[in-house]
Copies of this chain bind each other. A is one copy, B any other.
Amino acid sequence: MSRVIKLAVIPGDGIGPEVVAEAEKVLDAVTRDSGVTFEKTRFSLGAARYLETGDTLTDDDLAAIASHDVILLGAVGGVPGDPRLKDANIERGLLLKLRFALDHYVNLRPSRLYPGAPGPLADPGEIDFVVVREGTEGPYVGNGGSIRTGTPHEVANETSVNTAYGIERVVRYAFAQAEKRRKKLTLVHKTNVLVHAGGMWKRIVDAVASEHPDVTVDYAHVDAATIYLVTNPGRFDVIVTDNLFGDILTDLAGAVTGGIGLAASGNINPDGVFPSMFEPVHGSAPDIAGTQQADPTAAIGSIALMLDHLGLADEARRVTRAIEADIAARDGSARTTAQTGDAIARALPAATPAA
């Protein structure tokens, strides 16, 4: 029996194409002889495309991407300060537009300190949690504006918009994750200052908690959560939080678990109405683009999340095992992006024979 999966590939800018090449290498290797075929379409999007054509993401691009089953994205964003990009906002116009248009309301970001991975903490303990970051609301909605712009009388507002509908669905997803894990869920917000949005998050978490009596629920202000992440990260199992707090916490979490060169993520539409999109947490790092210095592990980890999302649990597990084995074997000597991709592909364990 063979299954064909339509994959949209957006390599993007900077180190994006290099890490995506390795992610594809591992994807090809893990699905060889599996009966699953990925039918790929490549989309040239990002700062490079903008500079060439002036387009960030056209309606046609969006429709074409949306017709796929799943999306792999490298990284987007040009060289900071490039004057030709002054009026572009590739992040808003491309990355966030995809997340919002494709209703990626779950931004899933696992944080694990792999055995052998170097990290900045003296005594990290075991770190293994997942951040379920809301992806379609909060301060990211783009409901801001300014008056008297550029004058001494300028006023600039940014409105965080939050709905019970939007929060409940992501909170339910987070509880489902907790049920599959160590059954602990932490809401992170800033309820003492953002009383309206925070109050609603709190009420909804409390309500859904009553349906999950076996899940232990607690709460941390976002400022306190950053302290825990460096002093006691082992206390977390599932964190559920808003779009902006999730952005901040997951970069920090990436840093404490060996760097965002390892941090994978999924922008997920759990309902399957739109294709989900998998991408490393890191950016396009134009300063090292083309030098084969980038670590493709985060992109390859995103493949594991993608396979899991597609129900290909054995393939997902094999990619994760290969990453673990490779990280444990790293001795700190320099490798090219491709060498790391090769090493992880080589480390793939055999498929579990079908029962």
Contacts and interface: CB of A to CB of B under 8 A. Distances in A.
Given A92-B192, A122-B120, A139-B194, A159 B156 contact: no
Nearest to A232: B120
A142 B195 CA distance: 8
A154 B164 contact: yes
Contact of A152 (B153, B165, B244): B165
7 contacts: A142-B195, A144-B195, A152-B164, A153-B163, A157-B160, A157-B196, A159-B159
Given A157-B197, A248-B248, A89 B192 contact: yes
A176 interface: no
A57 interface: no
Contact of A156 (B139, B157, B200, B224): B200
Interface of A: 89, 91-92, 96, 119-123, 139-140, 142, 144-146, 148-165, 168, 190, 192-197, 199-200, 203, 222-224, 226-227, 229-231, 244, 247-248, 250-252, 254-256, 259-260
B200 A227 contact: no
A162 B155 contact: yes
A158 B160 contact: yes
Contacts of A123: 120
A155 B144 contact: no
The complex is assembled from copies of this chain, and their number is: 2
A158 B159 contact: yes
Rank and list the top 4 A-B pairs by shortest CB-CB distance, nearest first: A223-B251, A226-B252, A154-B164, A156-B196
Nearest to A120: B230
A3 B229 CA distance: 46
B157 A244 contact: no
A196 B164 contact: no
A133 to B, nearest CB: 11
Nearest to A145: B196
B255 A193 contact: no
Interface-central residue, A120, A123, A194, by most chain B CB under 10 Å: A120
B122 A151 contact: no
Contacts of A222: 247-248
A107 to B, nearest CB: 13
Given A144-B197, A224-B251, A227-B252, A155 B160 contact: no
A232 to B, nearest CB: 9
Contacts of A196: 144-146, 156-158
Contacts of A163: 153-156
Contacts of A140: 193
A192 B96 CA distance: 10
A155 B197 CA distance: 8
Contact of A158 (B121, B152, B194, B230): B194
A252 B224 contact: no
Contacts of A149: 200
Contacts of A193: 91-92, 96, 139-140, 244, 247
